[in-house]
Amino acid sequence: MASEKVETIVAGNYVEMEREGEVKASKSKLSRYFWHGGSVYDAWFSCASNQVAQVLLTLPYSFSQLGMLSGILFQLFYGLMGSWTAYLISALYVEYRTRKEREKVDFRNHVIQWFEVLDGLLGKHWRNAGLFFNCTFLLFGSVIQLIACASNIYYINDNLDKRTWTYIFGACCATTVFIPSFHNYRIWSFLGLLMTTYTAWYLTAAALLHGQVEGVTHSGPSKLVLYFTGATNILYTFGGHAVTVEIMHAMWKPQKFKLVYLFATLYVLTLTLPSAAAMYWAFGDMLLDHSNAFSLLPRSGFRNAAVVVMLIHQFITFGFACTPLYFVWEKAIGMHKTKSVCKRALARLPVVIPIWFLAIIFPFFGPINSTVGSLLVSFTVYIIPAMAHMITFAPASARENAVERPASFLGGWVGHYCMNAFVVVWVLVVGFGFGGWASMLNFVHQVDTFGLFTKCYQCPPRH
């Protein structure tokens, strides 16, 4: 029967994620449009939507630390570097999946994750390193979304302090346990990107219409600590591909992912560059004490709308960051292949509790981005993928039999190795070394100034 036919992909020799006939038979037309996505466009929306969420509101703060020129250059530089390592991750995924399916391993009821790719290609030590850095990054990425929710809603309703809002949004975001996988983020990814697009252009227009504040100064960069803190926040901005493998696995034809992340990054740059530059032009050094861009703009219907859509988007991004953690936890307790949505949701709840707790302990909107960027993102999505790619294809036989062969215009294997070596050295020295030093100093300063469990971090006067 046609419904039983499994299509084999020529490039990579691996099978489709599901039998196409079964998908059509089991999903209603409405469900396929809004819920069950797996196309290249779905992957693009997922990448672009997931890449920039609350970071959009902290990039003006980074510009005040870096200065205008460095802020623009670092965005372009880390945008391209992030696209490169996302490409490496996709190549390693295809290599791993092809090898396994040649061994007749069936992944149709199993979500492949980054640590499994490392395990299959390089062994358990690489798996353990990938598991630690990836899970810790996604854990704190989820924490950051909760902090951002509380920080944003406060600019609409300051009757409750930010800590109380964190309690409320923690409960709201816990409902993401009911979303089974990245297949089911089609409509959410689309809406999420619309929301960040609106917010970015609102920030740009509002800053330009507001004009420069009286006596505005643009002294950045003024201190090395601030400079490298700002740089690592941008490193974090374009390091959103910790869920690349899961997004690829949700595609019907994952080998088409190659340039998806690059095009997503190019679109995101059209949002981040104008908004950050306009805000820094208008408010200058005032941003050094206002890590959330909303705090400097006057109340209006447009600002309230931007706050609301960002709250919705942060809920979506929380789900994006948490879903891989849900998968890891399900596999650990033997629930990953359970088909009951309610049973899986109940099993996932313990993942949300520590995230909720950490958001209450460290509510430092802005500085926590840089700390996570330098200590976790640097390894998760830059150093480990580049090193893993070099070691996987070090043997001549691996290069000869590689599923994804490097493009000649990139210099072939030699060009790949040079690029990878540059990424490892740069991120290790500048991102992890200088960035880690600066971010930790800044983070400790926030703790000393505001204390842990602070009720209202950087709260403006109540209206």
pLDDT at 326 over 60: yes
Q: How confident is the model at residue 1 (pLDDT cuts 50, 70, 90)?
A: very low
The total number of residues written for the chain in this structure: 463
Residue 8, φ and ψ in degrees, nearest 5:
-105, 125
Task: Find out whether 242 and 381 touch, Cβ atoms under 8 Å.
Answer: yes
Q: What is the set of domains in the chain, with CATH numbers?
A: 39-220+242-362 (1.20.1730.10)
Q: How much is the pLDDT for 452?
A: 65
Q: How far apart are CA 245 and CA 292, in angstroms?
A: 31
Task: Find out whether 72 and 277 touch, Cβ atoms under 8 Å.
Answer: yes
3-state secondary structure of 8: strand
Q: For residue 454, give both structure tokens.
A: 């602070």
Name every residue whose Cβ is closer than 8 Å to that of residue 180 and which is 6 or more positions away in sequence: 341, 344
- Residue 304: count other Cβ atoms within 10 Å of its Cβ: 14
pLDDT one-digit tens code per residue, 246-269: 888 888 888 888 889 999 999 999
Task: Find out whether 388 and 115 touch, Cβ atoms under 8 Å.
Answer: no
Nearest Cα neighbor of 200 from 304, 306, 88, 121 is 306
Share of the chain above pLDDT 90, in %: 39
Strand-pairing partners, residue 15, are: 8
Nearest Cα neighbor of 107 from 218, 214, 252, 216 is 252
pLDDT at 20 over 80: no
Q: For residue 327, give both structure tokens.
A: 């998968």
Q: How far apart are CA 139 and CA 96, in angstroms?
A: 25
- Mean predicted confidence (pLDDT) in 4-12: 37
pLDDT one-digit tens code per residue, 389-442: 999 999 999 999 999 888 888 889 999 999 999 999 999 999 899 988 988 887
Q: Is the peptide bond before 221 cis (omega within 30 degrees of 0)?
A: yes
Supply the DSSP string of 83-115, one letter for each residue.
HHHHHHHHHHHHHHHHHHHHTT---TTS---HH
Q: For residue 81, give both structure tokens.
A: 């570097």
Burial of 428 (0-12, 13-18, 19+ CB in 10 A): middle
Strands (E) in 262-366, as ranges, are: none
pTM for this one? 0.85
pLDDT at 340 over 50: yes
Straight-line distance from the first to the last Cα atom of the chain, in angstroms, rounded to the nearest whole number: 68
Q: 262-267: long-range contacts (C-beta < 8 A, 24 or more apart)?
A: 262/83, 262/86, 262/87, 263/44, 264/44, 264/47, 264/48, 264/51, 265/51, 265/79, 265/80, 265/82, 265/83, 265/238, 266/79, 267/48
Task: Find out whether 255 and 81 touch, Cβ atoms under 8 Å.
Answer: no
CA distances in angstroms from 334 to 178, 331, 343, 347, listed in the order given:
18, 5, 12, 10
Q: State the greatest distance between any 2 C-alpha atoms of the chain, in Å, as a whole number.
A: 75
Q: How much is the pLDDT for 366?
A: 64
Q: For residue 360, give both structure tokens.
A: 């209450």
pLDDT one-digit tens code per residue, 172-217: 888 888 887 777 778 888 888 999 999 999 999 999 999 999 989 9
